[in-house]
Amino acid sequence: MKQNITLFLLSIYIEKFQLVNMKRISFLFIGLFLLAASMSAQILQPVKWSYSSQKISATEYELIFKASIDNPWHLYSQDIPQAPPATTFKFEKDSSYTLVGKVRELGNVIQEYDKNFNMVLKYYSDSVRFVQNIKLNTPGATVKGDINYMSCNDTQCLAPQDLDFSFDLGKVKPAAVTAVIGTEKAVTGKDRIDIGGRKKGLWGFFILAFLGGLLGILTPCVFPMIPMTVSFFMKEGENKAKGKMQALLYGFSIILIYTFIGSVLAVIAGPNIANWLSTNWVPNILFFLIFMAFAFSFFGMFEITLPHWAVNKTDQRADKGGFLGPVFMAITLVLVSFSCTGPIVGTILVESAGGQILKPIVGMFGFSLAFALPFTMFAFFPSWLSNLPKSGGWLNSVKVVLGFLELALALKFLSIADQAYHWHILDREVYLALWIVIFFLMGLYFLGKLKFVYDSDVSFVSVPRLLLAIITFSFVVYMIPGMFGAPLKALSGYLPPQTTLDFDMNKIVRDNLQVYGNSGMSTEPKEICETPKYHEFLDLPHGLKGYFDYKQAVACSKKQNKPIFIDFTGHACVNCRKMEANVWSDPRVLKRLRNDYIILALYVDDKYKLPENEWVRSTYDGRMKKTLGKKDADFQITKFGVNAQPFYVLMDSKGDVLVQPKAYDLNVDHFVKFLDKGLKNYKTGKSLFNINRK
């Protein structure tokens, strides 16, 4: 049979091409022999499939189909004509689940001329992942179906194949949150996107919280309690070993109480509520009012206390002694000291309410560790009490200084809501003016020129007070140029954007240079294609011009033949402001952004209500996105699997992502290399993946 096929193919070859050269015929026989031998030796299976699933919410799952493709074979995309069979997924209809969106392709898609079918087709080599989201209607559903696909190499194709699959979702555990950036492999370990130096951020936050705990000790509600609580352990008897054990238990109890508070917050303030907490006007105005109330309380206007019944009840249980006594003694300390530690604890909790599970726990652990340390050490070594400074007016001074700081921090929360809703109550110059006045008054207080209700008379200025006054007034002097356009990079994450400044000397000089140039001759500034949508309330920093709408940016990219620089940002994004002030401001970065890219800034927290014809239904959660911020945030999540800002993407007008996206990184050289590599890949036609295929 094989011989007949061989002779038949040979006769066709000779007839068609009229080959009479025996040398060519011999080569043909050898080729056919090797092909027949290889076909008889094995059944070709160039595509190997593996399946996995992960739980991404209470009722939603991801079904992941991974295809590993042998070289030089390739697997066709779903998005091709049906003449060569496209890869197709069929799911058995079942009332126990609902498909959410379509099957997404994650891999390096290739689009080029295919010799097998004489047309341009899309396909994958090496590997590709297909992902289908489903929502369960009943617990523990089983999802079944089949895949129809065809694989080819440069010279031949195999017959289309069908492959059955089945997922038992009753056994799937929740998956860890990772940032999937469209590569063909699972994002783990070194492939995971670093969204802003998380480890470093947690350590820094721990240190700040620890310092907050030390500061809390030096308040008039807490400091006098050190000798009072230590005397409790000294009265417990002559058994020193028991006293030391109780002292340790006391310290551990303080830490556990505060860490428990952080753990509760971690559960309540999960990722779904993070954006609401950080940008919605309700929590931000509430935080603003709370911080203002604490500031007025610290100034002596009134006193914030917890109900007496709660304090008395725990105090009575503490008097019972034994090993439960130190636990209730710790609870009593937390309750009694609340009026002074509450603002510090509140600041830590508010700063950590960003959707991270570890951050509030780490923050409260750092605070409580510092807060419990002196009580534990003095209870462990009572003789140290003789060296403890006496209580006095200096404690109230600490409280008043905290009041000034609370007043300054309160403005930050009002500013966040002001930017997100475009109220223009606290533009940059107003915000800076208030901070300048607040810290100027604090400097006067250090010099004894201001006196509050519970303050002692300051007969002379001590050296520590003088040093603090010098530091405070120096900070005031540093802020003053900001009223006229100085960038104030050290405060970039805490001030409103510079674009809200009415009188910006830098902008005036920059505009004049653009119009007249260094030679004095008129040179028109480089323009973008059309007037950007939402330009009435959104701006780009440093006089850059760009868009805030994806379709406009893509259209301009096609027209000017430039790649697109996507900036996923937010009004409440502190790290975004730091990047703009410290990295974007560098002349090398500004030159590249201005000349080489079409800039697209997408504000994920903007509250502008879109007209109904611009609403989009999310393929991620199935909900309608009605505001500009929610639409931009959904675009980031569905296309890039990331919900953190800042996040920078370089792509072309076809949706091809040019290089690995970049997150928070204050290294200017890294950012310049990022932009240069994206431009080089754009010019040479290289890319990582296409967002339209996800």
As given in the structure block, the two tokens for residue 636 are: 């980031």
pLDDT of residue 485: 83
- Cβ(130)–Cβ(98) under 8 Å? no
Band the pLDDT of 271: cuts 50, 70, 90.
very low
Band the pLDDT of 379: cuts 50, 70, 90.
low
Residue scoring higher pLDDT (469 or 460): 469
pLDDT of residue 668: 93
β-pairing verdict for 598-603 and 546-547: parallel
Band the pLDDT of 558: cuts 50, 70, 90.
very high
3-state secondary structure (DSSP) of residue 616: strand
CATH number of 530-693: 3.40.30.10
Does residue 518 have a pLDDT over 80?
no
Average pLDDT rounded to a whole number, residues 668-676? 94
Residue scoring higher pLDDT (57 or 537): 537
Does residue 207 have a pLDDT over 60?
yes
Residue scoring higher pLDDT (676 or 419): 676
If 0-12 CB within 10 Å is exposed, 13-18 middle and 19+ buried, where does residue 282 land?
exposed
**What is the phi/psi pair of residue 566, to 5°?**
-95, 125
Does residue 84 have a pLDDT over 80?
no
Does residue 247 have a pLDDT over 60?
yes
Sign of CA dihedral 37, 38, 41, 43: negative
Does residue 528 have a pLDDT over 50?
yes
pLDDT of residue 499: 75
Does residue 177 have a pLDDT over 50?
no
Q: What angle do CA 592, 597, 603 make, to 5 degrees?
A: 110
Does residue 308 have a pLDDT over 90?
no
Show contacts of 639-643: CB within 8 Å, 24+ apart: 639/691, 639/694, 640/179, 640/180, 640/181, 640/182, 640/691, 641/178, 641/179, 641/180, 641/181, 641/182, 642/179, 642/181, 642/193, 642/195, 642/568, 643/271, 643/604
b/e code 41-64 from CB counts within 10 Å (16+ = b): eeeeebbeeeeebbeeeeebbbbb
Does residue 326 have a pLDDT over 80?
no
Residue 646, preceding bond cis, omega within 30 degrees? Answer: yes
In sequence order, which residues have a C-beta less than 8 Å from that of residue 445 and are 6 or more positions away? Answer: 397, 400, 401, 404
Rounded distance, CA 120 to CA 81, Å? 10
What DSSP letter does each residue of 249-316 carry, written as one string? HHHHHHHHHHHHHHHHHHHHS-HHHHHHHHH-HHHHHHHHHHHHHHHHHHTTS------HHHHHHHHH
Rounded distance, CA 177 to CA 189, Å? 13
User: What percentage of the chain reaches a pLDDT higher than 90?
Assistant: 21
User: For residue 451, what are the CA distances in angstroms to 438, 448, 458?
Assistant: 15, 7, 9
What DSSP letter does each residue of 641-691 carry, written as one string? S---SSEEEEE-TTSEE-S--B-----HHHHHHHHHHHHHHHHHT--SEEG
- Cβ(632)–Cβ(641) under 8 Å? no
Band the pLDDT of 155: cuts 50, 70, 90.
low
pLDDT tens, 110-137?
877 676 666 778 888 888 999 998 988 8
Q: What residues are paired with 599 via a beta bridge?
A: 546, 565
Return left, alpha or beta for 554; rule: phi > 0 is left, psi -120 to 50 is alpha, else beta.
alpha
Average pLDDT rounded to a whole number, residues 47-54? 88
For the chain, the residue count is 694
What DSSP letter does each residue of 129-194 carry, written as one string? EEEEEEEESSTT-EEEEEEEE-EE-SS-BPPPEEEEEEEEGGGPPBPPP----S-SS---GGGS--
Band the pLDDT of 21: cuts 50, 70, 90.
very low
**Where is mean pLDDT largest: 200-214, 390-404, 513-527, 584-598?**
584-598
Rounded distance, CA 549 to CA 532, Å? 7
Does residue 244 have a pLDDT over 50?
yes
Name the least confident of 285-289, 331-335, 615-619.
331-335
Rounded distance, CA 435 to CA 437, Å? 5
Name the least confident of 263-277, 385-399, 613-627.
263-277
Rounded distance, CA 29 to CA 445, Å? 100
As given in the structure block, the two tokens for residue 16 are: 């068609």
Return left, alpha or beta for 661; rule: phi > 0 is left, psi -120 to 50 is alpha, else beta.
beta
Average pLDDT rounded to a whole number, residues 485-511? 74
Return left, alpha or beta for 5; rule: phi > 0 is left, psi -120 to 50 is alpha, else beta.
alpha
Give the CA count within 13 Å in the CB-facing half-sphere of 465. 16
Does residue 480 have a pLDDT over 90?
yes
Does residue 560 have a pLDDT over 70?
yes
Closest CA to 364 of 489, 287, 449, 261: 261
pLDDT tens, 99-110?
988 899 988 888
Band the pLDDT of 527: cuts 50, 70, 90.
confident
Average pLDDT rounded to a whole number, residues 591-602? 94
Does residue 214 have a pLDDT over 90?
no
Does residue 678 have a pLDDT over 50?
yes
**What is the phi/psi pair of residue 157, to 5°?**
-130, 150
Average pLDDT rounded to a whole number, residues 324-332? 71
Band the pLDDT of 335: cuts 50, 70, 90.
low
pLDDT of residue 325: 65
- Cβ(597)–Cβ(562) under 8 Å? yes
Show contacts of 615-618: CB within 8 Å, 24+ apart: none
Q: Give me the architecture of the 47-175 domain, per CATH.
A: Sandwich (2.60)
pLDDT of residue 615: 92
Rounded distance, CA 436 to CA 438, Å? 6
Does residue 472 have a pLDDT over 60?
yes
User: What percentage of the chain reaches a pLDDT higher than 70?
Assistant: 67
Does residue 559 have a pLDDT over 90?
yes
Residue 541, preceding bond cis, omega within 30 degrees? Answer: no
Q: What type of residue is 251?
A: G
pLDDT of residue 565: 96
What DSSP letter does each residue of 449-491 carry, written as one string? ----TTPPP-SS--HHHHHHHHHHHHHHHHHGGGGGT---GGG
- Cβ(689)–Cβ(602) under 8 Å? no
pLDDT of residue 272: 43
As given in the structure block, the two tokens for residue 579 are: 């990047």
Rounded distance, CA 629 to CA 619, Å? 16
3-state secondary structure (DSSP) of residue 492: coil
> Mean pLDDT across the chain, nearest whole number?
75
Band the pLDDT of 495: cuts 50, 70, 90.
confident
pLDDT of residue 653: 92
Average pLDDT rounded to a whole number, residues 376-391? 65
